[in-house]
Chains A and B, each alone.
Chain A
């Protein structure tokens, strides 16, 4: 163990240190945004990256981490998860992802994040330092939140309290419908699916128009206070930044024709959208590039959406998107196993994505897509000091994460799992 400053890594999760300054020395610094710096240093101060370089001066009182033989990466960002919103899948009491009702643009995932969730340290110890946590239910599920995976409160964790409105875009394909009485499913006929779809689109358009009228009246009253008072409406109020195109709508969609419909819808409604999942994105890659719509794809380790698809289509999708010039990121789309995000990227690399691109797909690209590249996604001075120190290629399973910094602080690598391991390893 060459790490001199190992003492700082025990039991100091989020402890407030008097002088929050650290220097990682002698490391291979993979900045992602720039060239790799062999034997470089990263200076961390007040939660931010203060300096990066071959030889940078250490601030007085800074703790030194000798990372000889180790590599430093920007912390990984998983742009589609349910971390903090769910604990045990089958226990509804622990799940806060699905609210009742179809249209809930005003609900905030931020509100329901459980900072003490066991999933947080589990994800973190494998280098995932930031996640987008999002709700699932209904058509407009609510607003996602972007959080760092360390903090006493969600307020401390939040990078962006709200990071997009989740829209489960209606499918025109219908799919199968389960009859609970007989536990058998039936294929929904196209005519019926089309009716449902058109109804869904009408409702959506009508809601968006309500929002626009609301905004219009609000603006008018701002100019002329003499106008009658506007009755406050939480739902419509919540829609405003999305109607203005200031904030992204995160459109969850998977089939090719549904992606096409969603793109058309977004264009007519002038929404700024990001696709989530989008299993068949590679089949409409040219359209996505043309419309400049980014995709948060994943999980990469998925079965093909269609029986006749190439067996490796999901693994090859990031490579296909990259080749077509589509902006993309890779996500785990998980909760309990967000820790496997690097292997999702690694798998994409195995099936054709250049390794550097695979790394970017879980660092800089999701930061760019989510509009936080000024703070996250690479090792650059001024960015939030979310860093991972490893003994090798982090996309490789056998590689070990040695240190993790979240918002400039080293975090404990202890989890529920390591505790159980230690306990039962010692069982006589």
Chain B
């Protein structure tokens, strides 16, 4: 705890309730934060959170701004949840709480560009071979009304479904992830609309950075479905018909509203209504696509309807890199790199296709970067948040530059998700999401010392300190 002043006294929160609560209420950023809730949070979380006035000056740090050059020795000034200033000669205001960050490196908070963190739990066994995300999601969250069509819940908004993410958010934050794009991930096709949330503690309404962000569509058959669509071609037809239906819905209502008298009133349909922004290309769609064939298929579909789209999965995107570059299609690249099934017969030979898939997938990001395809990383069901950075490091070893890898977790992701004016780099005016590390982010030995989310400081506690962390190794696998 180098160079820090006076946080020691209330490190365990509950013993110093008085000290803890007061600054909270003084903060204009958290008007609804309940005393009781705050207390519960502190008790429930393993993180030792150091709260206080939200004006920080992080001095003498190496600052990796991402948007500009690296400052070998600089100061980052945070006020009221935003970055107020950054530079080599920023003067520290009198009210700022100074943290001497000499020896530490400051990065923008990391962004996990697709997850279901914070949404109702869905722990189910893996569904082999059909779900690009590697997840076998449960049924859609129940809503009061009947579900109109199978797999059709485009009206679901992640921001409305947020639950206390608990440990998961804390683990992610401890691993340097300050922001996620979270999207409904249940069994279905039109899954719903995603939200960007910060992983600070507090009421969900304060965690949401942007909502809705995109409409998420899974282009693969629903496992075990007995209803239409059951086949892949059925799914494609279903998506196309839904786009036509939504267009028709919009047209029918427009005609009706113009001249309702004497006309039959069209039916209302919240699904078709929810599809409208995406169908009008006002909202991007995120399409799941892993293999080159799937990527081509998704592109053909989206292009046919002039949708604005982002692809998620992208394991074989490198095979289509030139066209992806030309069309500037952003890819959310899974960091859950495929691994050999360990529970298989030692002499059971796998097809070359599968061996190549495993060997080539970690090289994919380097190839995309080389070609100039925009991409961001996402966790894709990684069950240990630390592997997010660790697997990005694996992509670095496979040829990706560290700068590009970092970009894919910060500004690059923010750009793809349309929040680059708020997130992704260390620039004045941006949200104060930062990670302070003891060294190079991709170095295995590097520890995360502080994480700032919305200007509030979190201090990761390694509960297993002294013991080697689970899976620590030069090539820790994706999951």
Contacts and interface: CB of A to CB of B under 8 A. Distances in A.
Physical contact A–B (CB less than 8 Å): yes
Interface of A: 172-174, 179, 181-184, 186-187, 189-191, 193-194, 256-257, 306-308
B349 A190 contact: no
B344 A308 contact: no
B128 interface: yes
B223 interface: yes
Given A191-B343, A257-B347, 5 more contacts: A182-B223, A184-B130, A184-B223, A190-B344, A308-B351
A189 B343 contact: yes
B464 interface: no
A174 B351 CA distance: 17
Given A189-B343, A190-B345, A183 B224 contact: yes
A187 B127 CA distance: 10
A308 B345 contact: no
Interface of B: 128, 130, 223-224, 226, 341, 343-345, 347-349, 351-353
A172 B345 contact: yes
A179 B343 CA distance: 20
Contact of A181 (B130, B224, B344, B347): B224
A257 B345 contact: yes
Contacts of A257: 345, 347-348
In the complex, the 9 A-B pairs of residues with the closest C-beta atoms, listed nearest first: A182-B224, A307-B351, A189-B343, A190-B344, A190-B343, A190-B345, A191-B343, A257-B347, A308-B351
Contacts of B351: 306-308
B128 to A, nearest CB: 6
Nearest to B343: A189
Contacts of B128: 186-187
Contacts of A184: 130, 223-224
- Residue with the highest number of chain B CB atoms closer than 10 Å, among A181, A184, A187, A189: A184
B132 to A, nearest CB: 16
16 contacts: A173-B348, A179-B224, A182-B224, A184-B130, A186-B128, A187-B128, A187-B341, A189-B341, A189-B343, A190-B345, A256-B347, A257-B345, A257-B347, A257-B348, A308-B351, A308-B352
Contact of B353 (A179, A194, A307): A307
Contacts of B226: 183
A306 B345 contact: no
Contacts of A306: 349, 351
A191 B343 CA distance: 6
Nearest to B353: A307
Contacts of B349: 306, 308
A9 to B, nearest CB: 53
Contacts of A191: 343
Contacts of B130: 184
Nearest to B345: A190
Nearest to B223: A184
A333 B130 CA distance: 34
A173 B345 contact: yes
A190 B348 CA distance: 10
A110 to B, nearest CB: 38
Nearest to A256: B347
Contacts of B353: 307
A179 B349 CA distance: 25
A174 B343 CA distance: 11
Contacts of A183: 224, 226
Contacts of B341: 187, 189
Contacts of A174: 345
A186 to B, nearest CB: 6
Nearest to A182: B224
A306 B226 CA distance: 31
Nearest to B351: A307
Contacts of A187: 128, 341
A308 to B, nearest CB: 5
A186 B128 CA distance: 7
A306 B353 CA distance: 12
Contacts of B344: 189-190
A184 B226 CA distance: 11
B373 to A, nearest CB: 30
A104 B219 CA distance: 48
A173 B352 CA distance: 19
Nearest to A197: B345
A172 B348 CA distance: 10
A78 to B, nearest CB: 32
Contacts of B347: 256-257
Contacts of A256: 347
B348 to A, nearest CB: 6
A257 B343 CA distance: 16
Nearest to B130: A184
A306 B224 CA distance: 27
B11 to A, nearest CB: 46
- Residue with the highest number of chain A CB atoms closer than 10 Å, among B345, B348, B351, B352: B345
Nearest to B352: A308
A183 B130 CA distance: 13
Nearest to A186: B128
A297 B343 CA distance: 31
Contacts of A182: 223-224
A174 B341 CA distance: 14
A331 B128 CA distance: 36
Nearest to B346: A190
A280 to B, nearest CB: 11
A169 to B, nearest CB: 15
A257 B353 CA distance: 22
Nearest to A172: B345
A191 B223 CA distance: 25
B258 to A, nearest CB: 48
Contacts of A179: 224
Contacts of A172: 345
B346 to A, nearest CB: 8
- Residue with the highest number of chain A CB atoms closer than 10 Å, among B226, B344, B353: B344
A308 B351 CA distance: 6
Contacts of B348: 173, 190, 257
A193 B345 contact: yes
A384 to B, nearest CB: 44
B341 to A, nearest CB: 8
Contacts of A190: 343-345, 348
A191 B130 CA distance: 23
- Residue with the highest number of chain B CB atoms closer than 10 Å, among A190, A256, A306: A190
A259 to B, nearest CB: 12
A23 to B, nearest CB: 57
A57 B58 CA distance: 116
A184 B166 CA distance: 34
A329 B130 CA distance: 41
